[in-house]
A and B are shown apart, each in its own frame.
Chain A
């Protein structure tokens, strides 16, 4: 079996031209059938010991292909590819080879599959988005499928991510993916790590680097410290960190490279938050996304049981576990009432200056103790820990020891005035893209709240945004932090805090227990706010340090 003819080329499928896709599919089909035939013939002949290994290898190769096909049959935006892939799988099955089937319930473990848009059911605008994403990456990942609840944001998100990873930029392509892996690994986000390991190898990265940061070039190793601080305690970044990276003789970073790296790091830190916050399932073609086992009698799969997630139907009936629907309904009403009150009485009872200041401090301090009591978990991480050396360094550390977070005044250094200018100067166009993304995320609203329509949610959105910045010690002079306490209840705060600071600890219970009456799309919306606010907070600290270094 010559290796060359069995190489399967998937890139033809990304074409918008249906005939090109057809030819590519035909080739794939031929290859797969040939491999299948070969395996079958081997199986029939008595097994020789020497064949054992090569058989296992080729079976493994075939299984990979089949898994990819399975992914295509479910997730390709082009109908013809979906159908044909399924057809090929069927014909392989008829030949007596076991075919994989997807595990889990769609793109997210938290959101029932039927709530999420089915591939093929999208409108024209979404289809373009999907096709773009598919053409750029050769896949339609679960993140995209969840984010498509908010197509306007998704477009900006994909554009930014595409630019960061594939367009002109100071860093070589494999560095970019490697930095993505580093960042995602800080939060033990195996989903993102898996995706980017594949991409990293695809753009010609050295597989040795994947054995750990110490196998990567010194230059990337130097970035490890910044990655760590940025992910967990961005307020500790000083210009000395920056100087250390920029003045390391032959391993120095240039300013432009550093800004690119910082943007990538923050992007992937917050994307890891999203992945955990929305419970994104592993990709179908990646490990843990599919199984070759036949469906078991019960409706559960192993991972569901271990995660404490039970059947979908149960969740539908009683989303809050033990709180009745009327209670949940009451929550929304109460929240609306509070918003109304705040809107009206703001002008009447004016808090004193001291009180305003202390409210911020209180909120900041309290945010440290907001933590869920259930610390069970430990996500099954595919040996991602090798990518970071110091697991003990986390947000948890300092919060338990009550470390003081210095206050960062947004009026003195804000994204719009300062951060944007700096990024755009050193990494042209990206400032604009990120700025747009922040804007869309911050201003996104459908004027709905659960079952209510025509609600001005700006107050709520601002409270969420400022609460996250507050956790990072970023203060808005013109905000009354008392509002946060009024609008965000404890379970919501627990969720926010966990998603932003220790995303790997998010559980389905947390996701379910806040805002019980709200729609899933609204919860995803909250997640978008969380990740963008987090990204901005990290960027602000990093960019301020760079500015200080430059002056």
Chain B
């Protein structure tokens, strides 16, 4: 806070210097005001009324105006103002309704000059005329504003707001006779000081009390108002009707507002409650404050710019009993902390991305999206030369379009709609889902379902054998299985490759296959295999003999330890041959997919996908043989789920999760599950699959997800007659006392599902309309419209 930075600004002849600093007051401050010379500040509160000199390093107490033995309520100040023409003249508004003026030029200790006791209630605000030496204006809780001539003993004129308490009064800086007043009921009034009988203009500015207003120092017609409704509004008063030109939404009710000198669009605000910071806003950027001062520990009650022509010094007083000088340079700038990137999906899958120009410039230099079949479009915002934050304002927006058809997700929609997730025995669910997947040409997924069924449904012998059979003869058609560890779109390419292998029918190739299959298994199931120390040659020798042995391999025996496993490097040359023969287009990607395979380098990697089928085969086979409990596989299944999720097929992950339920849930941590669920639900909702998404939410066991159904279950409707919101009940309007939604068929009020034709807007109970439409296609209301329902 105590930054030693020093700022000197030359303003005509005088120069302002200072730093961010604060001093402790004895009591909470209610208001502050600065002397014309910018060297002194007065602080007033319930039990404090002092003048401080602002020096370079510190505040120095100059004068205590609270004199006398007994504290008087006349000294309990709600507001204070220093005359901008006469540096000896001050005025305070007391909470008991008295307006007091002070003359610093008096020789005695008591500087009190005049006492006006005309208001019946607390005076909220006092204001000196900006150019006239003797004119003082006050606004009070009793709803009156009074204009005093300091040369006389009582008020010159009284203005009645005809509404509630006056919260603020401000003389216009440019128009000699005009002043604005704000009221507790949300109104702002404009008065001519010569015409106390009625106001010149009145409009409702805020919902709830308007706590403050401030005329723009340069722009004649601009008035800023701040209210309890947490808004700061800027009004253009030059037009016939006051027009709202800017609106800033803050986070708490606005207690004070002050235009920043020399900066046309800046204003400072502080709040009445909860929020202790002072913000400086650029009214054209109403969402992020331009600067923020966070020194105070309690609500800020008074703010003042130190000099009417210097934008860098702000003074503030607070309920935490401190007086602060803030340097604009030391302010924290929330913009810097804001995330300058934005990303959004369009309706048809287009992607828009906005970022700071500097960022985009470096990125686009590398052309990261160039390889895609997508077309980035760049927009650049036109810069306003007057714009103060050029560095921040320049941003680039890129839009990426998707080529029609390329992103077709019809399989996703179909799958989502047709999958069965609950309500049947597990085996049936798996079979059904496998069938669905197969019909959609997603063989890998189908196979996964089949395997899940085998793993988790009690070892039904018949089915297991049948699988065994298919596997047994399927050594040449391992196509569906093979996919299980591959991206689905790679399937065709790989399939042909396998066939190629098989057709060669080479024993040696088999060896190689097995070999690398083992590699893969090791990599996939490290936990399981570690510890088994079957020599590698056993594996090799065994398999070299006969092809069928392959399927009888027990996984436990088949996986030697990693280092040992790396031994059979003799097979290398052979492998080279194979690798060379099938010109696999996808090798590179495969490698990326199986990063574990590093020892045997590219060759092993290229084969890995092919052999994954075998690894899985052997696993499922083992189940059949040894009756392993399903628990044994849970780690594997979890890996599988993670694999799908990684691949982006979160649908599969979630579906399996739901179908298997308790069987796997405990092995995957809550957060991951939640993440999958939310992603899947999000996707479903993007495709408007509301029913499916709801089903998923319902079936989910995670608390955070299942409560999604409970949130925002309220539907707000407006009355069809008076267009007002119907607050208490959905079918009868409180204001026009009419039932809004009548069924055109039975002429009763519809309280549940209401369906209506968008052409003639007649409708009614869902069942009634459905029934009606069976008989006639005309509107049941008799309007003659040929109703259409989708």
Q: Mark B651-693, 1 if CB is under 8 A from A, else 0.
A: 0000000000000000000000000000000000000000000
Asked if residues A477 and B73 are in contact (CB atoms below 8 Å), the reply is: yes
Q: Contact between B122 and A411 (Cβ–Cβ < 8 Å)? A: yes
- Nearest-neighbor residue (CB-CB) of A477 within chain B: B95
Q: Decide yes or no whether B209 CB sits under 8 A from chain A.
A: yes
Beta-carbon contact of B276 and A551 below 8 Å:
yes
Q: Known: A162-B728, A416-B184, A417-B272. Contact between A411 and B46, CB under 8 A?
A: yes
Residues of A within 8 Å of B121, CB to CB, are 478
Chain A residue contacts of B273, Cβ below 8 A: 417-418, 421-422, 425, 547
Q: Mark B57-86, 1 if CB is under 8 A from A, else 0.
A: 000000000000010111010100000000
A547 to B320, CA, bound (A): 13
Chain B residues contacting A478 (CB-CB under 8 Å) are 95-97, 119-122, 141
CB neighbours (8 Å) of B73 from chain A are 353, 356-357, 477
Closest residue of B by beta carbon distance from A124: B737
Majority SS at the chain B contact face: loop
Complexed CA–CA distance, A524 and B73 (Å): 36
A168 / chain B contacts, CB cutoff of 8 Å:
714
B28, B95, B117 — which one has the most chain A CB atoms within 10 A of its CB? B95
Please indicate the chain A residues that have their CB under 8 angstroms from the CB of B120 in the complex: 346, 478
Query: Considering the chains assembled together, what is the distance between the CA atoms of A448 and B728 in angstroms?
Result: 34
Asked if B171 is an interface residue, CB under 8 A from chain A, the answer is no
Across the interface, which residues of A come within 8 angstroms of B211, CB to CB? 417
Residues of B within 8 A of A283 (CB): none
A518 within 8 A of B: no
Which residues in B have their C-beta under 8 angstroms from that of A412?
28, 46
Partner of B297, one of A128, A357, A418, A551: A551
Residue-wise interface mask of A (450-486) relative to B, using a CB-CB cutoff of 8 A (1 in contact, 0 not):
0000000000000000000000000011100000000
Q: Which residues on A sit within 8 Å (CB–CB) of B748?
A: 17, 19
A350: Cβ under 8 A from any B Cβ: yes
Complex interface: chain B residues within 8 A of A432 (CB): 208
List chain B residues, Cβ under 8 A from A132.
728, 734
Query: In the complex, which of the residues B119, B252, B298 contacts A421, with contact meaning CB atoms closer than 8 Å?
Result: B252
Does A92 lie at the interface of the complex (its beta carbon under 8 Å from any beta carbon of B)? no
Question: In the assembly, what is the distance between CA of A420 and CA of B228, in Å?
Answer: 9
Could you say which interface size class chain B belongs to? Answer: 35 or more
Please state if A353 and B749 are interface contacts (CB–CB under 8 Å): no
Interface string of A428-448 (1 = CB under 8 A from B): 000010010000000000000
Looking at chain A, what size class is its interface with the partner chain?
20 to 34
CB distance from B761 to the nearest CB of A (A): 22
Question: Is B732 in the interface zone, CB < 8 Å from A?
Answer: yes
Q: Is the CB of B272 within 8 A of A425?
A: no
- Chain B residues with Cβ below 8 Å from A417 are 209, 211, 228, 253, 272-273
Give A115-140 interface residues, CB cut-off 8 Å to B: 128, 132, 135-136
Within 8 A of B (CB), among A488-507: none
Could you tell me if B729 and A135 are in contact, using CB atoms closer than 8 angstroms?
yes
CB of A354 within 8 A of chain B? yes
- With a cutoff of 8 Å between Cβ atoms, the chain A residues found around residue B141 in the complex are 478
CB distance from A551 to the nearest CB of B (A): 5
Q: A135-B729, A422-B273 are in contact. Are A416 and B76 (CB under 8 A)?
A: no
Q: Is A98 an interface residue (CB 8 A)?
A: no
Asked if A16 is at the interface of the complex by the 8 Å CB criterion, the answer is: yes
Cβ contacts under 8 Å, B737 to chain A: 128
B274 on interface, CB distance cutoff 8 Å: yes
Please name all residues of chain A whose beta carbon is closer than 8 Å to the beta carbon of B298 when the two chains form the complex: 551
Complexed CA–CA distance, A213 and B209 (Å): 41
CA distance A416 to B228 in the complex (A): 9
A411, A416, A421: which contacts B274 (Cβ < 8 A)?
A: A421
| A550 proximal to B (CB < 8 A) | yes
Give a binary string over B3-36; 1 marks a CB under 8 Å from any A CB, 0 the rest. Answer: 0000000000000000000000000100000000
**Chain B CB within 8 A of A409 CB:** yes
| B739 interfacial by beta-carbon distance below 8 Å | yes
Interface of chain B residues 117 through 131 with chain A (CB within 8 A): 117, 119-122
Give Cα A155–Cα B46 distance, bound, in whole angstroms. 39
Whether the Cβ atoms of B728 and A136 lie closer than 8 Å is yes
Q: Which of B737-773 contact A (CB under 8 A)?
A: 737, 739, 748-749
Which B residues are CB-close (under 8 A) to A551? 276, 297-299
**Cβ A411 vs Cβ B252 within 8 A:** no
| Chain A minimum-CB-distance residue to B713 | A168
Within the complex, the shortest CB–CB distance from A407 to chain B, in Å, comes to 12
Mask: chain B, 160-186; 1 = CB below 8 Å from A; 0 = not:
000000000000000000000000100
Residues of B within 8 Å of A346, CB to CB, are 120
Over the window 17-60 of chain A, the binary record of Cβ atoms lying under 8 Å from chain B Cβ atoms (1 yes, 0 no) is 10100000000000000000000000000000000000000000
- Asked if residues A477 and B117 are in contact (CB atoms below 8 Å), the reply is no
Q: Mark B634-660, 1 if CB is under 8 A from A, else 0.
A: 000000000000000000000000000
The answer for the CA separation of A353 and B112 in the assembled complex, in Å, is: 15
The 8 Å CB contact of B122, one of A162, A357, A477, is A477
**Distance A411 CA – B272 CA, assembled complex (angstroms):** 13
List residues 264-290 of chain B with CB under 8 A from any CB of chain A. 272-274, 276
- The residues of B that contact A416 with a CB separation of less than 8 Å are 184, 209, 228
- B228 lies within 8 A of A16 (CB): no
Chain B hits for A357, CB < 8 A? 73
* Bound: A350/B211 CA distance, A: 30
Q: What is the CB-to-nearest-CB distance from B668 to chain A, in angstroms, rounded to a whole number?
A: 27
Residues of B within 8 A of A353 (CB): 70, 72-74
How far, in Å, is A353 (CB) from chain B's closest CB? 4
- The CA of A82 and the CA of B175, in the complex, are separated in Å by 68
* Smallest Cβ-Cβ distance to B272: which chain A residue: A417
Measured between beta carbons, the chain B residues less than 8 angstroms from A19 are 748
Q: When each residue 498-521 of chain A gets 1 if its CB lies under 8 Å from chain B and 0 otherwise, what string results?
A: 000000000000000000000000
Interface residues of B (CB under 8 A from A): 28, 46, 70, 72-74, 76, 78, 94-97, 117, 119-122, 141, 184, 208-209, 211, 228, 252-253, 272-274, 276, 297-299, 714, 728-729, 732, 734, 737, 739, 748-749
A-B contact pairs, 12 of them (CB 8 A): A411-B78, A416-B209, A417-B209, A420-B208, A421-B228, A421-B252, A421-B274, A422-B273, A477-B97, A477-B122, A478-B95, A478-B121
**Beyond A128-B737, A136-B728, A353-B70, 17 extra complex contacts between A and B, CB < 8 Å:** A16-B739, A17-B749, A135-B728, A162-B728, A353-B74, A357-B73, A409-B46, A411-B46, A416-B184, A416-B228, A417-B209, A421-B252, A421-B273, A478-B120, A478-B121, A478-B122, A551-B299
A residues within 8 Å of B by Cβ? 16-17, 19, 128, 132, 135-136, 162, 168, 346, 350, 353-354, 356-357, 409, 411-412, 416-418, 420-422, 425, 432, 435, 476-478, 547, 550-551
